[in-house]
Structure 1
Amino acid sequence: MARTVASTRTVDLTELLDFVRPRHHFLLVTLRRDGRPQVSPVTGGVDEHGRLVVSTYPGRAKAVNAERDPRVTVCVLSDDFGGAWVQVDGDAEVLHMPDAEDALVDYYRCIAAEHPDWDEYRAAMRLQDKSLIRVTPTRWGPIATGGFPADVAARLDAQDA
């Protein structure tokens, strides 16, 4: 049985955003005050301006950290844990109510399409005092898949033959 070989594919910004758009499982990494990473599993999307967007609350560590230090990293995962992924570094902007309201509508649209009642959704976002983190990509790694290095897979396959 052939082994899975790890792969990487370097992409430009357009290809990166095309890869990210259908994927909504993110790991958002912000920096704590002491410089150590804070990792948050989040649902995310890509807005119409090519920014990665995440909904949160004002007091959450990710929002507080991103406001203090806007340098963040997002790891975008495929639905299948063994699928392709990419790391995106960027600059974060945190929006709070009432400034976040329209941006939260855009966030919902890029993840789940149209809401059946936008007035209800907006009222819920205001009641919950939601915030939004927008990340402008500044650099990114290649789109990668896990597996064995090619030479190791070949040796293992030869051993099994």
Structure 2
Amino acid sequence: MARRIATNTRVDHDALLEFLRSRRHGILVTTRGDGSPQLSPVTYGVDGAGRVVVSTYPDRAKAVNLRRRPAASLLALGEDFNDAWVQVDGTAEVLDVPDSVEPLVEYYRVAAGQEHPDWDEYRQAMVDQGKSLVRLTIERWGPVATGGFPARLADS
């Protein structure tokens, strides 16, 4: 049986955004107060400005951590464990109600890939729930990668 060979494909910014938009699941990495990493599984989207957006609540660890230290990373994953992935790094901001409401509308559109049946109801729910939005401005990224054996072991 042929071995699956690991890949690392460098991509430009436009190709990165296309790749990120083809996925919805990720791991957001922020920094706890003691300096250790905090990892949060998230559903994300990419807004019209090319930022990674994540819905949350103001008291969740990711929001609290980002208010203290805005550096963050996201590992964008596919539906299957063996799918390609990419890590993006950047600076995040946390928006709270009322400033988060319209960006949460865009988040819904890009994360769900569809329109909500009642936007007024959605907006009110976001206010009632006190929802926040994380926006991660991408400053660097790694290659789009897949797991597997090193190429030198392909025929071993």
Q: Please state whether the residue corresponding to 1:125 is helix, strand or coil.
A: helix
Equivalence for 2:72: 72
Q: Deviations over 1:84-125 (max 9, x none)?
A: 000000100100000000000000000122000001111111
Mapping 1:137-156, distance limit 5 Å: 137-155=138-156
Report the CA distance between 1:20 and its aligned residue.
Answer: 0.3
Paired position in structure 2 for 1:114: 115
* Amino acid of the structure 1 residue aligned with 2:23: R
1:42 is the counterpart of 2:64: no
User: Matches of 1:104 and 1:92 in 2, distance apart?
Assistant: 15
Residue correspondences, number: 155
Q: What's the counterpart of residue 158 of structure 1?
A: none
Secondary structure at 1:92 match in 2: strand
Query: What displacement does 1:15 show?
Result: 0.6
Alpha-carbon distance, 1:151 to partner = 1.2
**In 2, distance between residues paired with 1:124 and 1:81?**
33
Deviations 1:19-49 (A, max 9, x none): 0002010100000011110000000010000
Question: CA deviation digits over 1:54-95, x for unaligned, max 9?
Answer: 000000000000111010000000111100000000100100
Residue of structure 2 in register with 1:83 after alignment: 83
Structure 1: gaps spanning 5 or more residues: 156-161
The two structures have a TM-score, normalised by structure 1, of 0.95
Residue deviations 1:3-32 (CA, integer Å, cap 9, x gap):
110001001111100000020101000000
How many angstroms apart in 2 are the aligned matches of 1:143 and 1:39? Answer: 20
CA distance in 1, matches of 2:153, 2:127: 54
Q: Decide which structure has the larger Cα Rg and report it.
A: 1
Determine if the alignment matches structure 1 residue 134 to structure 2 residue 144.
Answer: no
2:76 aligns to what SS in structure 1? strand
Identity over the aligned pairs, expressed in percent? 61
Q: Which has the higher helix share?
A: 1
Deviates more, 1:52-61 or 1:144-153: 144-153
Q: Secondary structure of the equivalent of 2:155?
A: helix
The letter for the 1-side match of 2:123 is: R
Letter in 1 for 2:34: D
Q: CA RMSD in A?
A: 0.6
Equivalent position of 1:20 in the other structure: 20
Q: CA deviation at 1:143?
A: 0.2
Task: List, as ranges, runs of 4+ consecutive aligned residues in structure 1 with deviation greater than 4 Å.
Answer: none
Structure 1 residue 153 displacement after superposition: 2.8
